[in-house]
Homo-oligomer: A and B are copies of this chain.
């Protein structure tokens, strides 16, 4: 009856209640956006939901109803803890996360829906503050919240509140983004510093105060990337490095595009405060979630005009070229060139680094 699962291909880390490397229960790491999340998608969701089309269950799907241009549809649930953190809250994050998934397929956000799951006893002031923040974030992002739903569960059946946002967007006619376009020689760009969101949330969660407080980078990115898509030929692929961080996202791109990627550690922008906090907390900024950054893969001749346009926008002021695409050598590897000239293999996040980061 459960053939897929009984073949036991969902791998668990050794320490996670798994027997023989195999998980028969959901682990926190299944939600961290890394290797186990990918396994869950490939081995549970795709077989039953991807269905006959054997399509990839993407974060944002591009569909084309009769008579329409290309539309993008994307969904995300938000369970971030704590609900309020420096630079944002679960409400603004829910808007930004979803409009950024639309931006990653080149889509202008048109409408979002909001589904709330509330814990009995939730302070109404908390809900009001979150909903108001959500409304402000939607207005700033130029998107309307068109439909909603609220469920309430008993005390201790949820932790305060969870929000699902689903976004509908119109794909820019100029956007032509696909894994298949990525080719050796292409360059990897990032629109700014990495790790800020992860550090902001975990610092607040653990009650840590740093001399220079780190704020989440949570922000809507369509206006940042639209001029690039509209004006620069040779833009091949976009993705926002959220859960799992820059490293996991680039490793997934390498695997899906059938290429290798080499990034330069020195060229990856990281705020000093984030670097300091990571040292103290034992975290790696390359694996921390970002909520206001985009990775771009572009043809070599597109690097200069892309950086120029990105840097015109406040959210792209520290945009940088950080790596290069190389030919597939059999494994879709992601390599990190260190300042001392060494080269280190990077894999997807494996085992939870930080649960409930978004």
Question: What residues of chain A have their CB less than 8 Å away from a CB belonging to chain B?
Answer: 1-2, 4-5, 10, 17, 23-32, 37, 40-41, 44-45, 48-51, 53, 57-61, 63, 65-69, 71, 73-79, 81, 110-111, 113-125, 127-129, 131-132, 134-135, 138-139, 144-154, 156-159, 162, 164, 166, 168, 170, 355-356
Contacts and interface: CB of A to CB of B under 8 A. Distances in A.
A166 B115 contact: yes
Number of this chain's copies in the complex = 2
B60 A147 contact: yes
A288 to B, nearest CB: 17
Contact of A71 (B32, B65, B79): B65
Please classify the interface of chain A as helix (H, G, I), strand (E, B), loop, or mixed, using the class held by over half of its residues. mixed
B128 A49 contact: no
Nearest to A24: B124
A190 to B, nearest CB: 23
Nearest to A51: B135
Nearest to A25: B121
Given A5-B125, A149-B75, A164 B115 contact: yes
A289 to B, nearest CB: 12
Given A45-B131, A117-B117, A157-B159, A148 B57 contact: yes
B49 A131 contact: yes
Contacts of A44: 124, 127-128, 131
Contact of A152 (B66, B115, B122, B355): B355
B5 A49 contact: no
A164 B154 CA distance: 18
Contacts of A50: 145
A129 B2 contact: yes
Contacts of A159: 153-154, 157-158
Given A76-B149, A164-B166, 7 more contacts: A26-B121, A45-B114, A61-B147, A73-B166, A75-B147, A81-B157, A151-B162
20 contacts: A2-B129, A25-B122, A25-B123, A31-B150, A45-B150, A48-B131, A49-B114, A57-B148, A58-B147, A61-B111, A65-B71, A67-B69, A68-B69, A76-B149, A77-B164, A79-B151, A153-B162, A156-B156, A158-B158, A168-B168
Contact of A63 (B49, B110, B122, B164): B110
Contact of A26 (B119, B162, B166): B119
A147 B71 CA distance: 13
Contacts of A76: 115, 149
A139 B51 CA distance: 8
A115 B63 contact: no
